[in-house]
């Protein structure tokens, strides 16, 4: 049950986890015992959604005057059918959801973090400069994890941002961002705002930032960094003060670890990170997954431990301030 | 008839291209001057810090009077006004700043030999501020060198060299690190001793 990792901090943090898992096991076993009952009960309710739909129509037809020719009976049928289906789905998913919450909460605590399913108090406002997140009209924030890594405060949540596009019948909801948002402390203060975004190629870079107040483009010395990222800042000198050659190397290592769809902003003493990797970092177990499977817990532990990698890869606790 | 229009047409296109090139040269020169003034803003911070550092050093470093006097003289040289439009004056100003930086670095390195000085809380804070200021100067130097690199490429490559000659736009000097110690390999044995 041990996973090899090239990051020493990562494995160090998970040392002793297998012993900790045994303390969660009895509770997971209790939830697992009720899983099939919930699954069958919820499944039956889902199947009953169709008869409920028909029943709703019949009841409404009987209660109200059919001569009126309204959509009332259809609406009543749809409501009853959909309601039954939703309740069935909720009951079927309840054990997986409860197990997921338990695992996340305990694993986070083991790693020295606090966990809260609701992330409505996550400081999303800090990201609202319109420079590292796309414009959105809907948001879903969950899995709020807070704590300290090597003395550096860090908070993150799993975010899904959506936007309504088109109008009338062609209007649809599009996911514009899916992945973790991270707020941490950066050892150097900054008066302005500096953002680091993926390189968009010659044409993409030409149009990037048009119509937005992202500051001036900052051209840095490292060809590798310039190929990977574009930097914009309200202060050319400050951008270079923050992005030293060493920091540029760390950001390249960070990109190699977390993928190319990362965006960062340095503002005051904060470092904001948005990783648009289009996946749920902390998914609940599947409906048909055995909840007492140790690999399930280990998987969550590794995902939460990745947060520590952010601080360790970027060396945010570096007292040398380079 | 065709030739009658082609010749002035080509002349107009050449004039427009020439004007565009001229504009880009002036923009680059102004960016380099803006970067130079950023360097001066950061140098000013170091400049303001020096009297306090010297006052603290004088308390403990009796044997380094020569170095302290040299730093005082260099500070006065850096303070002298210069023309940002004259590349040789800019080079002289940057040379003095470089020498001042080297001597301040030496001063802090020598301070390691004075335990009383190293333990003084004010000196520790002054050294932290100095490092912060040096970080900003280094950033300003990178900005300046980037702007000067762009300007010099535009000025020295044909046909920019011709237009730069007409417009009296000249290459500017780079602000390079002039610290032979920094270029030498570090002996781990010496550091760990």
Which residue out of A215, A240, A243 would a mutagenesis test of the B interface target, given it has the greatest number of B Cβ atoms within 10 Å? A240
- pLDDT of A178 reads 93
Closest to A122 (Cα-Cα) out of A159, A149, A151: A159
* Residue A88 CA to its chain's centroid (Å): 27
Closest to B168 (Cα-Cα) out of B155, B187, B184, B182: B155
CA distances from A132 to A111, A191, A227, A307 (A): 29, 18, 18, 19
- Residues 31-50 of chain B with CB under 8 A from chain A are 35, 38, 42
- pLDDT of A281 reads 83
Q: Which residues of A touch B (CB under 8 A)?
A: 188, 219-221, 236-241, 244, 321
pLDDT tens for B37-49 read 888 888 888 888 8
For residue B192, pLDDT beyond 50: no
B156 touches chain A (CB under 8 A): no
**Which distant-in-sequence residues (6+ apart) come within 8 Å of A103 by Cβ?**
A24, A28, A285, A296, A297, A300
Q: At what angle do helices B121-156 and B2-60 cross, to 10 degrees?
A: 160
- pLDDT of A37 reads 85
Inter-chain contact A238–B139, Cβ cutoff 8 Å? yes
For residue B9, pLDDT beyond 60: yes
B137 touches chain A (CB under 8 A): no
Query: Are the CB atoms for B155 and B180 separated by under 8 Å?
Result: no
Inter-chain contact B135–A221, Cβ cutoff 8 Å? no
B175 touches chain A (CB under 8 A): no
Model confidence, pTM? 0.78
**Which distant-in-sequence residues (6+ apart) come within 8 Å of B25 by Cβ?**
B151, B154, B155, B160, B163, B164, B167, B169
- pLDDT of A32 reads 84
Number of folded domains that form chain B: 1
Closest to A99 (Cα-Cα) out of A10, A179, A38: A38
Chain B neighbors of A320, CB-CB under 8 A: none
Euclidean distance between CA atoms B112 and B107, whole angstroms = 9
Q: Which residue has the higher pLDDT, A14 or B29?
A: B29
Interface pTM (ipTM) of the complex? 0.74
Angle at B72 between CA B66 and CA B76, to 5 degrees: 145
Q: Looking at CA atoms only, how far is residue B185 from chain A in angstroms?
A: 18
- Write down the H helix ranges in B65-120: 65-79, 87-111, 115-119
Angle at A186 between CA A243 and CA B127, to 5 degrees: 80
Which residue out of A236, A266, A318, A319 would a mutagenesis test of the B interface target, given it has the greatest number of B Cβ atoms within 10 Å? A236
Domain residues for the domain of B44 are 2-191
Residue corresponding to tokens 């200021």: B133
**What single DSSP character describes residue A319?**
T
User: For residue B179, how many other CB atoms are within 10 A of its CB?
Assistant: 13
CA-nearest residue to A240 within chain B is B139
Euclidean distance between CA atoms B124 and B79, whole angstroms = 26
- pLDDT of A181 reads 94
- pLDDT of A2 reads 41
Mean pLDDT across the stretch B73-100? 85
Q: Looking at CA atoms only, how far is residue B137 from chain A in angstroms?
A: 9
Residues of chain B with pLDDT > 70: what percent? 90
Chain A neighbors of B143, CB-CB under 8 A: 236-237, 240
**Looking at residue B80, which CATH number applies to its domain?**
1.20.1440.20
Looking at the partner chain, which of A188, A240, A321 has a beta carbon nearest the beta carbon of B142? A240
Return mean pLDDT, chain B.
82
Inter-chain contact A237–B140, Cβ cutoff 8 Å? yes
Which residues, listed in sequence order, are joined to residue A142 by a DSSP beta bridge? A118, A158
Closest to A33 (Cα-Cα) out of A240, A290, A247: A290
B177 touches chain A (CB under 8 A): no
Inter-chain contact A219–B146, Cβ cutoff 8 Å? yes
Chain A neighbors of B38, CB-CB under 8 A: 236-237
CA-nearest residue to A217 within chain B is B143
Inter-chain contact B143–A241, Cβ cutoff 8 Å? no
Q: Average pLDDT of each block of 10 consecutive residues along chain A (322 residues)?
A: 46 69 82 83 84 82 68 80 87 85 86 89 83 88 90 90 85 91 88 89 70 79 92 92 90 88 90 90 82 80 80 73 58
């Amino acid at each position: 049950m041990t996973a090899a990792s090239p990051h020493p901090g990562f494995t160090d943090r998970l040392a002793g986890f297998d012993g900790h898992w045994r303390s969660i096991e009895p509770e997971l076993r209790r939830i697992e015992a009720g899983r099939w009952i919930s699954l069958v009960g919820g499944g039956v309710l889902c199947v009953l959604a169709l008869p409920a739909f028909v029943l709703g129509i019949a009841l409404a037809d009987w209660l109200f005057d059919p001569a009126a020719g309204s959509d009332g009976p259809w609406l009543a049928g749809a409501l009853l059918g959909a309601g039954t289906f939703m309740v069935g789905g909720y009951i079927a998913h309840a054990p997986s959801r409860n197990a997921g919450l338990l695992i996340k909460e305990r694993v986070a605590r083991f790693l020295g973090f606090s966990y809260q399913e609701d992330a409505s108090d996550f400081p999303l406002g800090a990201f609202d400069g319109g420079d590292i997140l796309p414009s959105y009209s809907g948001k879903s924030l969950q899995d709020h994890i807070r704590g300290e890594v090597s003395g550096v405060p860090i908070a993150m949540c799993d975010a899904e941002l959506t936007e309504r596009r088109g109008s009338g019948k062609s209007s649809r909801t599009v996911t514009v961002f899916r992945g973790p948002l991270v707020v941490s402390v950066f050892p150097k203060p900054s008066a302005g705002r500096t953002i680091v975004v993926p390189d968009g190629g010659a044409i993409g870079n030409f149009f990037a930032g048009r119509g937005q107040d992202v500051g001036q483009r900052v051209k840095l010395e490292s060809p590798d960094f310039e190929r990977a990222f574009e930097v914009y800042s309200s202060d050319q000198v400050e951008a270079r003060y923050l992005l030293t050659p060493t920091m540029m190397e760390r950001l390249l290592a960070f990109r190699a670890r977390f993928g190319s769809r990362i965006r960062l902003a340095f503002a005051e003493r904060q470092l904001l990170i948005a990783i648009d990797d289009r996946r749920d970092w902390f998914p609940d177990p599947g409906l048909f997954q055995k909840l007492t499977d140790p690999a399930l817990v280990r998987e969550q532990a590794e995902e939460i431990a990745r947060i520590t990698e952010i601080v360790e890869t970027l060396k945010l606790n570096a007292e040398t301030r380079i | 008839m065709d030739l009658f229009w082609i010749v002035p047409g080509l002349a107009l296109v050449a004039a427009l291209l020439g004007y565009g090139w001229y504009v880009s040269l002036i923009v680059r020169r102004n960016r380099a001057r803006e970067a130079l003034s950023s360097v001066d803003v950061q140098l000013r911070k170091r400049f303001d810090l020096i009297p306090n550092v010297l006052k603290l050093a004088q308390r403990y470093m009796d044997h380094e009077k020569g170095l302290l006097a040299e730093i005082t003289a260099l500070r006065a040289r850096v303070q002298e006004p210069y023309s940002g439009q004259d590349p040789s004056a800019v080079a002289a100003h940057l040379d003095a700043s470089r020498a001042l930086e080297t001597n301040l670095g030496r001063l802090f390195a020598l301070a390691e030999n004075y335990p009383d000085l190293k333990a003084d809380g004010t000196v520790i804070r002054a050294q932290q501020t100095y490092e912060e200021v040096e970080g900003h100067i280094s950033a300003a130097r990178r900005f300046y060198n980037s702007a000067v690199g762009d300007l010099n490429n535009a000025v020295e490559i044909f046909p920019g060299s011709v237009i730069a000659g007409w417009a009296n736009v000249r290459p500017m000097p780079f602000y390079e690190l002039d610290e032979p110690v920094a270029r030498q390999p570090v002996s781990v044995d010496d550091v760990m001793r």
